[in-house]
A = this chain, B = another copy of it.
Amino acid sequence: MSTAEQRLAELGLELPPPPAAVASYEPWVRAGNMIYTSGQLPWRDGKTLLFKGTIGRELTVDQGVEACKLSTLNAIAQLKDAVGNLERVRRIVRLEGSINIAHGYTDDAPKVLNGASETLNAVFGERGRHSRMIYTFPEMLLGVACLIVLWAEVD
């Protein structure tokens, strides 16, 4: 069994530095054995906000998938910041995804959020099998394509 870090490397993915929160809150909080991240945006290297736009208008569905993947890497980076080692993540409990998607494109939203789900499954294997809730919005703050939250049970 490879570790989550090894799988990231095998997938050619690199964890960005955990982004700071964009306002007066924490990027993650621990309560008991649970870590809850705040909403994670598609930051590259914690500095450049990528994938600005509404899916179906300025962005394609495939770009939406990539935005979810990148936001999920940022969320995983928060989990690592919280517990030090991703092997201490026992289970990804829930994925919350808000998707910025144009009128007439909402049926594509589950496929877009699969960009997050499949990243979790690929990186964490059985431990990555999560429940999820999806929200679709006609417009989102900073024009971002998505906002991703993870809940993880940890050792």
Contact = CB atoms under 8 A, between A and B. Distances in A.
Contacts of A25: 95, 117, 129-132
Nearest to A78: B131
Interface string A47-67: 000000000000000000000
Interface residues on A, range: 35 or more
Secondary structure class of chain A's binding surface, majority of residues: mixed
Interface string A131-155: 1111111111111000101010100
B131 A98 contact: no
A2 interface: no
Given A32-B153, A139-B136, A153-B32, A114 B39 contact: no
Given A33-B32, A110-B23, A136 B137 contact: yes
Contacts of A103: 139
A131 to B, nearest CB: 4
A129 B38 CA distance: 12
A91 B107 CA distance: 33
24 contacts: A23-B111, A23-B114, A23-B117, A24-B117, A24-B121, A25-B130, A25-B132, A26-B129, A29-B91, A29-B130, A29-B131, A31-B33, A32-B33, A32-B153, A39-B133, A96-B133, A98-B135, A106-B139, A106-B143, A109-B141, A133-B149, A134-B147, A136-B139, A136-B140
